[in-house]
Structure 1
Amino acid sequence: MSHANATLTPTGSLRLARCVVEGGWTPARAAERFGVSVTTARRWAGRYRENGRAGMIDRSSRPHSCPHRTPRRRERRVVGLRVSRRWGPARIAYHLGIHPSTVHKILSRYGCVRLATTDPATGAPTRATRRRPTRYEHPAPGDLVHVDIKKLGRIPDGGGHKVHGRAKGRRNSKRGTGYWYVHNAVDDHSRLAYSELLSDERKETAAAFWRRAYAFFADAGITVRRVLTDNGSCYRSRAFADALGPDIKHKRTRPYRPQTNGKVERYNRILLEEWAYARPYTSERERQALLPQFLHYYNHHRGHTALEGASPADRVPNLRGQNS
């Protein structure tokens, strides 16, 4: 298809061809008049002689034949291995002696779904094969808050293995470096997050964290109605139930199914990638001091794919300091 500023649109090509075929112009004169090459003028004149006005439409640039294309028989072998043995592109490529990218193109050309979106036992497509899967999301902030704990090793003074290398920076339990227990709470609708570095995951600690998290959400104008946690002992305790109070419904994930609490699990990954392991730190104090800065960036400025590029502050108008 010709672009908007093309010299030869279908109408322009027709005028050029008529000047040569019907007007008796030479291809050189017509090429100079329309600002194209002589070869182009001859090509459009030839199409007009063969097909008339219908020949002035742009044709596909796809070649009529491709001698280097994978033979049809080998393509059928690729698809057959995918269906019968459920192999991935790399394994099929190694078996047949061709490049994995070629196998991937063949599978895409024949509409083979990804292995991750099929049932492991039967190979039948699952609901995840939809091109735009439905993302569950509660309609308002506070309808559901995901709560979880992430265990994080502390950095010894002078830096760990990212600074000194794996051998010298190896953790030494006798030095008492220990661990942080990062308690996290993430709102389902807005992805607004609240995190604290605490020394343990006992029931009293989890209960106290939730009281402060609840105050954080309340300060942002969010009324929490439900909380989702895993089945850890601290969350099954009476202390945590008392911290929730009678107005907040407590939901728990299915055993051994962390995907049920997927939003906070994804937040844990972002926390590690963009703060905890974002760069080499020389001490735990240095990393700890940057946590508030990361939380501010995450809540106020970081665009989220699930929010179509918006930040949590864009979905929580009452969030303090959102314009800073």
Structure 2
Amino acid sequence: MNIHKNARLTPLRREEMALSVIEGRLSQADAARTYGVSAQIVARWVERYKAEGSKGMIDRSSRPARMPQATATSIAERIVALRRQRWTGSHIAMEVGVSPATVSRVLKRAGLSRLKDIEPAEPVRRYEREHPGEMIHIDIKKLGRFSQVGHRITGDPQKGKSRGAGWEFVHAASTTLRASPSRKSCPTRKKKAPSPSSRRRLPTTPASASRSPAS
């Protein structure tokens, strides 16, 4: 919601002011002094709240109910039709007999101000091929030859030109591959941990054998 730039009150404050008068907590004069507006403004918001409630606290459109000088519908439709034939704004104005500003306003409302709006861009087309090499794209890059050191090294644009040196062409070919399906990995069996009884035990050396005889 766009609030008027000179508005002193927001919709919430307008409702608060109107309720303070309706409920008898403030008179219209006291409410005007409290909220910094005139008594006429207070009366306007009070009457609007009584008629519409909270929805009436929002700013209304300032557009007049009748516009005798508005562009006729038939003229606007003709302007749009000529625009779809890729006519420029000045040519449309001369053909229809209106000002270029009128044509600009009509085209802006119709969303046809720019020529690219008449024919929207085509969606991106994506495709896949069944076999590799079924479709090949070839791009050609044109590169200029040079017979002497260029201006990036010499610093002189006039001396760094290689006139008549010719051209080189680079051809790059690419093919469209089909997206390979994801391979399903074979489930691996979890190895069971060996039980304590099945583990191999090393023979223990008797304590008497490991000790050296006393001298």
Query: Aligned-pair distance for 1:25?
Result: 4.3
Separation in 1, partners of 2:61, 2:78: 30
Q: How many equivalent pairs are there? A: 145
- Runs of 4 or more consecutive aligned structure 1 residues displaced over 6 Å after TM superposition: 3-6
Unaligned runs of 5+ in 1: 119-123, 129-145, 149-202, 217-231, 242-248, 252-324
Separation in 1, partners of 2:99, 2:31: 48
Separation in 1, partners of 2:20, 2:59: 19
- CA 1:209 to 1:22, structure 2 compared with 1: closer, same or farther past 3 Å? farther
Q: Give SS of 2:148's match.
A: helix
Q: Which amino acid aligns with 1:127?
A: A
User: What TM-score do you get using the length of structure 2 for normalisation?
Assistant: 0.53
Q: Is residue 166 of structure 2 the alignment partner of residue 213 of structure 1?
A: no
User: What TM-score do you get using the length of structure 1 for normalisation?
Assistant: 0.37
Q: Structure 2 matches for 1:1-324, cutoff 5 A?
A: 1-2=2-3, 7-23=8-24, 25-84=26-85, 86-112=86-112, 114-115=114-115, 117=116, 125=119, 127=121, 207-210=147-150, 212-213=151-152, 234=164, 236=166
CA displacement 1:142-162 (0-9 Å, x = unmatched): xxxx999xxxxxxxxxxxxxx
Query: Aligned-pair distance for 1:250?
Result: 6.2
Query: Aligned-pair distance for 1:13?
Result: 0.6
Separation in 2, partners of 1:70, 1:4: 29
Greater helix percent: which structure? Answer: 1
CA displacement 1:225-252 (0-9 Å, x = unmatched): xxxxxxx963525xxx6xxxxxxx869x
Q: Give SS of 1:125's match.
A: coil
- CA 1:236 to 1:34, structure 2 compared with 1: closer, same or farther past 3 Å? same
Separation in 1, partners of 2:96, 2:106: 13
Whether the 8 Å CA contact 1:113–1:125 is kept in 2: the answer is no
Instruction: Using the aligned pairs only, state the percent identity.
Output: 34
Whether the 8 Å CA contact 2:79–2:106 is kept in 1: the answer is yes
Unaligned runs of 5+ in 2: 123-141, 156-161, 172-215
Query: Aligned-pair distance for 1:127?
Result: 3.2
Separation in 1, partners of 2:69, 2:5: 34
CA displacement 1:121-146 (0-9 Å, x = unmatched): xxx72639xxxxxxxxxxxxxxxxx9
CA displacement 1:85-112 (0-9 Å, x = unmatched): x321101111222111210221121122
